[in-house]
Amino acid sequence: MNDEINITSIINKIIDNKKAMIFIVLGSMLISVIIALSQTETFKASAHLIPPENKYTQSLNVFLDDGYRLSREEISPTIVYRTFVLNLQSRKYQRKYFFDNKLYDYFDENNHDKSFEKNFHDQMSFKIESKIVSRDYREEQFLTVSFIHTDPQQAATWLNDYIDMVNEITSQDYVDGINILISNTRNTISSEISGKKNLSEQVTEDRIVQLEEALQIALDLGITDRSNNLSNQQNVILGDDESLQSKNPLYLYGSEALSAEINALKKRTNKDSFIRGLRQLEQKAKSLDSIKVHVKDVNTAQLDQKAIAPQNRYAPKRKIIVLLGLIFGSFIAFLYIVFSFFITRKI
């Protein structure tokens, strides 16, 4: 008899040891069943999110009467949704929800930080995908958020509440930012209005001083009426409240005209009407006073489908565990036959 393995001998060996093989396979299956039944059941709740509708971001884009947008760029649904997704994955907000709601009381872990990591953060998963086939228009906007927990109803409730919390916080952040921008713009315009008024008052006082000096010169020179030399005077406008006039002195206007202008300036009660651009600024400030963004008008995401309590368990996969036990037992039984065969041949 040669040294090659005789197939017939192996088959006979299997027949002779079939009880042992069956015992090994059944033992492995029994162990796998015990493992499958002893593991804690967990359930996976999932919520599906998409970007908000345009109407929920329009109030964030504030325009003045002249068409000027306060924010540098348009605040679109895509922009606020991207911020929402980042916040949703943030440990900062996960910890806030976990500790504010005292979720650590539902778990056995005494270390609250470890409990957060193990029972909340590690059990939450995010999947962003595109539902648009065209490569030209592909945008990853469909978000699936999942949470695994031993209680299916709690898993769905906690997930929905967490999403609502992040949505409210993100919306409030955007609303606060726009309202602060409105307030800052209004304060800037108010400062500009005050500056124009103060400057106008100082310019008026300076004008009176210049006219009084010119009046004194005109009286000393006996110039009563307007000089004919001023008839062809030209003004070149350089900009707001600025012009380049001829070099003719003011006293040539004559004492009567100078006295009349001085009296008019001193008796002027409404100085605002003579300030260029003041009414436009006041209108801008008034329009901003009536603008206020409310958080109830803003959403940074919308639920395509909220999380519902799952009916089927997520883990353990008992059928897979038992199947793996059967495969493992069969493999061990095969090794047992092979070793038994070689040991028998050597003896």
pLDDT in tens, 100-157: 999 999 998 999 999 999 999 999 999 987 655 555 444 557 899 999 999 999 999 9
Report the share of the chain in percent with pLDDT over 90.
35
Find tokens 């679109």 and name the residue.
Answer: 76
CB 218 within 8 A of CB 182: no
Do 257 and 327 have their domain in common?
no
Do 279 and 306 have their domain in common?
no
Do 270 and 244 have their domain in common?
yes
Asked if residue 15 has pLDDT above 90, the reply is: no
| Alpha helices (H) in the chain, listed in sequence order | 7-16, 18-38, 77-88, 91-100, 112-116, 152-221, 255-267, 278-289, 318-346
Q: Could you tell me the CA-to-CA distances from 112 to 99, 101, 104, 209 in Å, in that order?
A: 9, 13, 6, 77
Q: Could you tell me the CA-to-CA distances from 244 to 111, 233, 277 in Å, in that order?
A: 79, 11, 20
| Cβ within 8 Å of residue 161, ≥6 positions away | 97, 101
Do 54 and 142 have their domain in common?
yes
Q: What is the largest CA-CA distance in the chain?
A: 152
What is the domain count for the chain? Answer: 3
User: Which CATH number do you get for residue 306?
Assistant: 3.30.1890.10
Tell which wins on pLDDT, 266 or 305.
Answer: 305
Do 87 and 233 have their domain in common?
no
Angle at 16 between CA 12 and CA 19, to 5 degrees: 135
Q: Which of 31-40, 204-213, 233-242 has the highest mean pLDDT?
A: 204-213
Do 163 and 197 have their domain in common?
no
Tell which wins on pLDDT, 174 or 291.
Answer: 174
- The pTM is what? 0.70
Give residue 341's domain range. 1-39+320-347
CA distance 56 to 166: 16
pLDDT in tens, 63-113: 877 667 777 788 999 999 999 999 999 999 999 999 999 999 999 899 999
